[in-house]
Amino acid sequence: MPARLRQLASSLLSRTRADDGGIALLGIGLCACVVMLLLGGICVHTAQVARVDVLDAADHAGAAAADRISVAHAYAHGVEAPQLDAASVRAEAQAALSATERPAHVTSWSLTSASVDGKDLVLAVAAVVDPPAVGGALSALGAPITVHVTTRAEAHFER
């Protein structure tokens, strides 16, 4: 029996020597996966914070543009039911958006559309986000993170 145990022990030792370094490779692979998950989480978090910042800027632009009454409509139909002027709304929203300071992680933003329906207006804003951890790599690949937001405002006219 002791010979059989010696044979089993030597067999186990030879297998152990053949597997040397396997656990280190597994550890390196797991660390790479953890780092990728962390970088992905940072990227997603930055995009969500940018979305909120862009939405705040779009709301500000909508509030600034919500008082641009159509003078032609007011002269033709009176001021009982005023309407917004689409060209004035777009110009004012663009001016308000241009005057608003961009956050550090937003590289650019622009007013993509402005529509008016009576006293209601809808603004759409698109922004390019540069995440702190992987922004350079994404830009090099030609795949920037773009955030699109839409805001609505209603004009309240008082005499």
| Per-domain boundaries in the chain | 2-154
Is residue 19 scored above 60 in pLDDT?
no
Please list, in sequence order, all residues whose beta carbon lies within 8 angstroms of the beta carbon of residue 68, skipping any fewer than 6 positions away: 84, 85, 88, 89, 92
- CA dist 70 and 81 (Å) reads 11
Best-predicted range by mean pLDDT among 51-60, 86-95, 134-143? 51-60
**What does pTM read for this prediction?**
0.72
Across the beta sheet with 145-154, the strand order is 106-117, 120-129, 145-154
CB 148 within 8 A of CB 129: no
- CA dist 80 and 82 (Å) reads 6
